[in-house]
């Protein structure tokens, strides 16, 4: 079995398990952006923290059924499995990261946006630091004129893995609170200081409801 075949096999099992898991989950949504009632005309970039990745693909399928979508997945072996899972929820995977195939991935993401696909990124991935926005999403928004949809996800009960991002897995019968924040527009910049200001401005937007995501009793159980 080739590495690609193995990743596809694991991804197929993973997608099935996620679907079974989500039968027990209840979603609650708050749509400050108005994207559920009226799909935006401009290209849309989904952004949410890496440790909420577990529910990204099911959310896309649930809230934007039938819409073409693409998402960035790491060029690593783990990224191949994540890509295989995403594809089973109707999301095309674009492979790359800041450390591998970064420039190529940026070009492919730009092309996807220009083709009208909703694109998804975890702007603190694939290696962190946790809750710090990498510059790629800002560059992408500036290159395409795309509008960023900040997505805040909270689980009523969850487990936290001992990974760099503190990856969260909702417990069975948990409630997932999804907030589509107001659409975020990135201004064009002409120098590094202005670019950094835009990066920090968006980082504050995405951090706002989550704060530093302190430990809760549910995490310790």
Question: How does pLDDT run along the chain (221 residues), one tens digit per residue?
Answer: 787 788 888 888 989 999 999 899 999 999 999 998 887 777 789 999 999 999 989 998 888 888 889 998 877 777 788 889 999 998 998 887 655 566 788 888 889 988 888 899 899 978 889 999 999 899 999 999 889 999 999 999 999 999 999 999 999 999 999 999 999 999 999 999 999 999 999 999 999 865 445 434 344 33
Question: Which pLDDT belongs to residue 177?
Answer: 95
- For residue 162, the SS3 value is coil
Structural tokens at position 34: 């108005």
Query: Strand pairing of 175-180 and 147-155?
Result: antiparallel
Domain limits, the chain: 3-220
Question: Which pLDDT belongs to residue 1?
Answer: 76
**CA atoms 134, 135, 136, 141: torsion sign:** positive
Structural tokens at position 23: 């039968």
Residue from 65, 63, 62, 85 nearest 73 by CA: 85
State whether CATH 2.20.25 applies to domain 3-220: no
């Amino acid at each position: 079995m080739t590495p690609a075949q193995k990743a596809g096999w694991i991804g197929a099992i993973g997608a099935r398990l996620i679907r079974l898991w989500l039968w027990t989950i209840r979603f609650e949504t708050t749509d400050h952006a108005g994207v559920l009632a009226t799909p935006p005309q401009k290209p849309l970039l989904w952004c949410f923290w890496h440790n909420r990745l577990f529910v990204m693909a099911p959310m896309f399928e649930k809230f934007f059924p039938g819409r073409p979508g693409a998402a960035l997945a790491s060029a690593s072996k783990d990224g191949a499995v994540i890509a295989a899972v995403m594809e089973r929820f109707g999301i095309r995977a674009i492979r790359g990261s800041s450390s591998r195939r970064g420039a190529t991935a940026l070009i492919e993401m730009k092309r996807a946006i220009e083709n009208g696909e909703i694109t998804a990124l975890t702007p603190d991935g694939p290696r962190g630091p946790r809750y710090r926005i990498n510059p790629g999403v800002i560059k992408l928004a500036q290159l395409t004129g795309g509008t960023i949809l900040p997505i805040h996800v909270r689980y009523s009960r969850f487990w936290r893995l001992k990974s760099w991002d503190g990856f969260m897995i909702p417990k069975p019968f948990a409630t997932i609170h999804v907030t589509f924040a107001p659409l975020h527009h990135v201004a064009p910049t002409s120098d590094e200081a202005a670019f950094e200001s835009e990066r920090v401005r968006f980082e504050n937007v995405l951090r706002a409801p989550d704060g530093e995501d302190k430990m809760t009793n549910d995490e310790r159980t």
